[in-house]
Every structure is written in C-alpha cells, then in structure tokens.
Chain A
Amino acid sequence: MLQFLIRRSLISIIVIFLVTILVFVSQRLLPGDPVRVWVGEERDPESIAYFRHKYGLDEPIPLQYLRWLSLALQGDLGRSIRTGIDVREEILRRLPITVELAVLALIIAVVIALPAGVISAVRKDTTWDYIGNSVALFGLSVPNFWLGIMLILFLAVQLHWLPASGYVSPWEDVLENLRRMIMPAFVLGTGLSAVLMRQIRSSLLEVLKSDYVRTAYSKGLEERVVIYKHALRNALIPAVTVLGLQAGALFGGAVITEQVFVIPGFGKYILDGVFTRDYAQVQAVVLVTAVGYIAINLIVDVIYSIINPKIRLEGAKAE
C-alpha cells in the first residue's frame, strides 16, 4: 500500500505538470488577451503595450510558462491583471467555500441516492421504482438556474425562511452558514443524486442476481443483511467511480449555482477568468482543482480495494 501511494504520488506530480501546460497553452490559443479585454471598447495602444510588456505577454509562450512555473513553485500565483488582486489570497479564500459546498452537495446526493437506489433495485418494476427513477431524472433534467431561482423565490422571497444569497463562514456562525449553503447544496446535490441513484440501482440489480447473493438468500439470511453486508458493498464500485468523477465537476464546475446564490467559489472565478482572459486566475484554479481531483481519485482507487479486496492496487502488483 505504501509503495503504491508513493508511486502514485510521483506520477501525480507529472500529471499536474501536464495539466498546467495544457491550461497554459489552451488559454493562449483563445483569441484576445487579458490586457485587450480589460481595456474593452476603449482602445489605447500605448497603455495596452505597456501592460503587455509589464506582464510579460509579449514574450514567447514557453518562456512565459517557465516564469509562471518558477513563481508558482515558490507559492506566488501572480495577480489578476484586471483587478490587481493577489490570486493566491483569492484561492485560499475560496477553497474552503468550494470544498464545503461540494461536500454538502455530496452528502445530500448520497442521502437521497442511496436509499432511493436501494428501493428502486429491490422493488424493481414496481411503482416505487418508477417514481424513484422519474424523480431522480427530473432532478437531473431541471436546469440548476431554474431550480435555484425557484427556491429563492419560494423560500427566500415568499416565505422568508432562508436568506437568498451570500456566504457566511462557519467559524463566524455555523447556523447562518448552513442556512445560506443549504439551497445551493441542494441544487447541486439533486443533479448528482440522479446519477448516483441510477448507478446504485443498476449495479445492485446486477449483484442481486449473482450466485453468492442467491446462495446467501438460500441460506435463509435476512434480506437486510444480504443487501447491506453482501450486495451493496459490491454494487458500490461504479457509484464510487462516478462520485469521483463528479467530485471534479463539483470543484470547478458549480458555476451556475455559485452565480445564482452569489457564492464566491471556484466555478465562477475560473469561468470569469476564461472570459476576461485572466490567465493567472485560470491557471491557479485549474492547478488547485487538479491537485484536489487527483487526490480524490487516489482515494477512490484505495476505496475500490477496500470495497472489493480482489481488486489489486496498481503499482502494488507483481507483474
């Protein structure tokens, strides 16, 4: 296990390098540059040239990359050209918010998906199954923007139960933090729960038909024991994979939800960075999300081997 972890960590560093190069080059392939976008409708060749030079945008791309890399390795992620704000500070401020939103969304998704998936599978082709599936897929098809606005209009504007937007740190006020996070986490969680629920249902169905589950039943074991001790454990593998995939999406992709609920997370930060060509901003977020994503999937791989010991961890195997 230790050997596996060390090897994977080393490889991960290469992957992260790869990611930073990909981001760096892909951003510079897009037309326009940060200075031109900032200047906007007003053209001012002199100040454009000045800022291009100041931020090294007039240099060859490999040189720009090396400069960025050497600074990044020292912990300096640069400043936003447009606002002059230190990107590292901004990342550190957003990281806990993004993580909290993602974790809450995941919890909500699992809380909905696990029982719903189990019921749907165990009661396959019954009304319960149909209802569960339809509701889950409805949650998936409903655009986050629509759901978010509807929740705000109903719970915040009509009933005044919850605040409409904003973020309060849990260190300041735990309850207020939850009151403000519950709607966005719910919006994010519903979409995710559909994907999870469908996977759990499908793989549980698979497992329920397998020989060892039939054997377990024939031995007269109680249903609950069979499902939770034997079947569900094996059925979770695809669900865990999907969870790992979605975690990446939750990390940098919650743009709409962040926008509707005015939460300063990574999603909007990176997308605005792309549109204003604020290179430093995009690079920094992708760097952080890449590290997070790779760490999560490393954990996912470890979880596989715990769920199903037959799966060997790559790197730990002999061949």
Chain B
Amino acid sequence: MRRILPRVRLGLLGLLVLGLSAVMVSLTGGSAQAPVILRVGIAEEPDILDPTLARTFVGRIVFASLCDKLYDIDQNLEIVPQLAEGLPEISPDGKTLTIKLRQGVKFHDGTDFNAEAAKFSLERHLNLPGSRRKSEIAQLQSVEVVDGFTIRLVLSAPFSPFLAQLTDRAGMMISPKAAQALGDQFGTQPVCAGPFKFKERVAQDRIVLERFADYWDKDKIFLDQIVFKIIVDPSVRLANLKAGELDLFERVRPTDLDLVRADPNLVLSSVSSLGYQGLTINIANKEGFNKPPVQLDTPLAKDPRVRKAFELSIDRKVLNDVINNGEFIPDCTPLPIISPFYPQGLVCPERNIEQAKQLLAEAGVATPLKITLMTTNAPDAIRTGEVIKSMAAEAGFDVTINPVEFATALNLQDAGQYEAFLIGWSGRVDPDGNIHQFQTCGGALNATGVCDPVIDALLNEARARSNNAERAKLYATAMDLNLPPDISFLSRRNIIYLWHAVNFVALNQSVTGFVAVPDGLLRFKGVQKR
C-alpha cells in the first residue's frame, strides 16, 4: 500500500515545478521598440463607433481621439474652435450662425475636409434614420455652403445651447466618401478627422487607434497608438495600472483613491464632472412616460412636504463620506458648482430630522411611511440606497431597496412602475442639457411626469436667450428654494439631487501632458509617454 505514494507525490511536484518554471522563466517585459503605445483602461464597452448613432459616455472617450469636432470645450468649460477657425458669427435674431472652417484638414481616408463635408456631416446627423443627434440639433433647419470653407447654419428658433451641442458628437465631422460607401456599417470602420484613426476592435476587449500621419495638428501628437482596454471592474483596472499593463485609466473609484495616492509610480488627475447623482421621484408618471400625466396616489407623489421631509432626512455630506470617501461634491442642484450658471448664494438644506418629522406630521401621513427605492444593481448604487434607508429611517421613512438590473430598471421607469429611482445623469456643457428635458412638461427625459407651466416658461425662456447673465437669472429663479413648488423645481423636488461626481484619472508617472476636462473625456493631444 505504501510504495506508490511517494511516486505520486514526486510526480505531482515535478509537474508543478516544470509548469511554473516554463512559465516564469522569461521575465523580459519591456523592449526598446520604436512605436509609443498608450494603453488606456475604460470602464465599459462603447457602443457603435458612428457619431450619428452612438450614445454611450464611454464611446465619447474613444471619439475624442478619433473624430474632431467643429468646437471643443476646455478645462474651464469655455467653448473653443477645433475644426472651425473661430467662434461663429451669430445674427442679431440668434437664428443664423456663420462658421468659418479650418483649411488643410484631411479625413483618415485622405479626402479633404471642407464646407461640403461639414454640410454632409451635419445633414447626416440630422437625417440619417435612427440618428441620436437629431434631437440634439432639432432646431437646425438648413446648412448652406457659403464658400469652400464657410458654412451657414439656419435655426428655426433661437437656441442658445446649440453651439454647445457642436462640441460633442453632433459637431463631429465624418468623411462623406466613407459614409456613403459604408452606409449604416460606418460604425464598424469609422473615418473621421481626429488625431488617430481606427485600426481594430474586439468586442468587450479593446479598441485600437493609430496615429493619423496627415492630422492637421500633428505636431502635438506624440503617440503612435492608443489601445483602449475595456476593464469593467475598478479594482482590476487599478491592479493592471500597478502591474504596468495600463498607462492610465478613467473613473478611479473614490474608495480606491488612497491606494493610488500611496503609490509613488502613479499620478492622479481630477476634475469635477458635469453630471449629477439624484433621486428621481415619480409624481405623475402613472401610465408610462409618453402618456398624459396622472397624479400617483402615494404620499411621496402627492405632497411636496413629504418629499421635503425625505430630503431633510438625508445628510448629503455623510452620504458622500461613506459612499465616495468624501471625494465627490455634495450638492442639491443639477448644475456642477463650476458652472457659470450655478445659482449665486444658494444654500442647500442641511439634514434636519426634527423638521422632517414635523413636515410629515403636517402632511398627516402615518409613520413609518413605506417607500420603495429602485436602484440599478451597480454595487455603489445599492450601497447608496442602504445609506439612504438608514438615514431616512430616523425621520420615519421605511425604505425598501429594490435593486434591478439596468435593462429592467429602464423599462420600469418608462412604464412609470417605480416610486423613487436612484439614477444620475452624465451631464452636458450647457445647463439646458441638465435641466430642460427632465423638468419640463412632456420633456424627452421627464420620467417623473411633472408639469408646471411657470417652470416650463422659465426654462423655455432660458434656452431662447443668448445673454448669459439673463439666462443665469432665469435658472436662479427656477432653482430658488424659497419659491413654491410650482415655480421652482428645486422646491418641487421631483428630483432630489445628491452630489456631483469628480472624474478621477490615474496615470503612470511616465505619462505626461494630460489635462483633465470636466466632460470626463480623455484628450491625448500633447500627451507624452516616456
């Protein structure tokens, strides 16, 4: 019985040693090859790489290197020309924009960028069946070619956020030749005028771009290749950066920041984002979001005092400390605090359990008041729900957390089958993009079913005015917490805003020249890797 065992053991040991040594023998990593490859970790899989059809945030990160736009924004949220020569000439009635285009720009297929190409691109964004840009630039009536490098955009009505739209996908220029040849498959082989051109894509794994030799601003490009690696888990992204498999990655989880700061090889870049996290409370979306609003029969939906009590039960600062390690920016408005439109002198209400209890008593609701809070099943969303549940309990709310997979959550929200939903917004440069569609009657993203004519009038007026000071005043009124709920949407509390995220990018110290911009996109012009 005994004789066989040592041999088995020996054999096993031998195999292990053999395997390990075979694998670990070659430790030679870096080589002195010429091409400079930047490996970038991104948090999700981008959708189709067609600027007209795309919608994901992470897709915009790839587009930032692939497709240049008429305009761009800088780190101060200023709109700056990119493929345009300068800011547009706007007619006094605000309905005509004349844009001079940059000359000597080539698309990746070698064709020239000119007024015809710009007209083609904008018209494609407007007219391609299924276009996602159509609603962004719906006011665009026609595009006229003035001369070889000048276009004139005619709007149906003055629309001050229009220029901001041209700093995003709606302003991306695509090669007419390639677009005509590829049709709706353009996204599998995109041809634009950005500093890098499309090389290959492996679904859920990577997107590879390579340097475009004829880029108009090629002196500022110091990279030969960019590999976007899709790594969903933040801990895995961080481990890969530390192991040297990545040069940088976006969306460092706030709770991981201390690990990044503690590592002398890593550098952290941060900038406040344009978006917000919030609690969307269903007021009158009973039949589905396309249907006329019908008031829900819950205390939370019926009585603004109950919603105010709910808000007062939440301590935004502690919430931010617990969930985000205190690294994000607690706030009660949809606008980032860096925005020039952020209401001056606004003070967010502090947690006040006594007042919350009193409001509930005034509203005559029996406590504990049951509330179902739907969240997506992202771990941090569930954790946020748990903290809110714990805080709101002290004021007399009994919150049930209902984590739902994203696709299902969207469906329930569309159908109006939710009471409160923890969902954020990635944010837009112009304040209109964070407010109008959510807060106006019948707005495209109005999932709460609210409908108050005064608020609508204020917000409609704000998008028509072109004077920033006048616009800021209108927004300040619509966000005045001292005004009643039918004038100020912050008092209406159909969305209780919680915080603004900060975009953290962790870089290996060998990467220099990176500048973070509030829109969270990664721009690699001027970026070098030693």
Contacts and interface: CB of A to CB of B under 8 A. Distances in A.
A152 interface: yes
A161 B243 CA distance: 10
B354 interface: no
Interface residues of B, number: 68
Contacts of A272: 45, 204
Contact of A37 (B130, B232, B410): B410
Interface stretch (A17-25, A46-54, A62-70, A302-310): A46-54
Interface string B181-199: 0001101100000000000
B411 interface: yes
B530 to A, nearest CB: 19
A295 B101 CA distance: 61
Contacts, number: 179
A219 interface: no
A115 B134 contact: no
Interface stretch (A1-9, A81-89, A197-205, A311-319): A81-89
A122 B407 contact: no
B290 A42 contact: no
B240 A262 contact: yes
Contacts of B48: 82-84
A128 B410 CA distance: 55
B130 A47 contact: yes
A119 B9 contact: yes
Contacts of A118: 8
Given A40-B410, A119-B9, A175-B26, A83 B425 contact: no
B201 interface: yes
Interface in B111-169: 129-132, 134-135
Nearest to B7: A224
A30 B408 contact: yes
A262 B205 contact: yes
Given A122-B4, A264-B204, A83 B45 contact: yes
A75 interface: no
B47 A38 contact: yes
A40 B57 CA distance: 11
Interface string B480-517: 00000000000000000000000000000000000000
A84 B12 contact: no
Q: Among the interface residues B201, B229, B406, which one has the most CB atoms of the partner chain A within 10 A?
A: B406
A170 interface: no
Given A38-B55, A160-B29, A162-B24, A83 B414 contact: no
Nearest to A148: B236
Contacts of B236: 149, 152, 165, 259-260, 262
Q: Among the interface residues B5, B27, B134, which one has the most CB atoms of the partner chain A within 10 A?
A: B5
Interface string A132-165: 0000000000000000010011001100111111
Given A85-B201, A115-B9, A44 B132 contact: yes
B130 A264 contact: no
B5 A123 contact: yes
Contacts of A260: 233, 236
Nearest to B5: A119
Contacts of A112: 12
Nearest to B22: A178
A160 B245 CA distance: 11
Q: Tell me the interface secondary structure of chain A in the complex.
A: helix
Contact of A31 (B2, B8, B407): B407
A153 B263 CA distance: 14
Given A38-B55, A119-B9, A259-B233, A269 B239 contact: no
A156 B244 CA distance: 9
Contacts of B230: 262
A157 B425 CA distance: 35
A31 B413 CA distance: 12
A128 B6 CA distance: 12
Interface in B58-100: none
Contacts of B229: 165-166, 262
B27 A163 contact: no
Q: Among the interface residues A38, A83, A163, A260, which one has the most CB atoms of the partner chain B within 10 A?
A: A83
Contacts of B242: 157, 164
Contacts of A44: 132, 134-135, 444
B406 A275 contact: yes
A161 B414 contact: no
Nearest to B131: A47
B56 interface: yes
Nearest to A39: B55
Nearest to A49: B130
B262 interface: no
A276 B9 contact: no
B46 interface: yes
7 cross-chain pairs, A with B, having the tightest CB-CB distances, nearest first: A32-B407, A164-B243, A264-B205, A156-B243, A50-B130, A84-B48, A224-B4
5 contacts: A40-B55, A84-B187, A119-B5, A223-B2, A276-B407
Given A165-B236, A272-B45, 12 more contacts: A31-B407, A36-B411, A84-B49, A84-B185, A85-B203, A122-B4, A152-B236, A152-B243, A161-B24, A179-B23, A272-B204, A275-B407
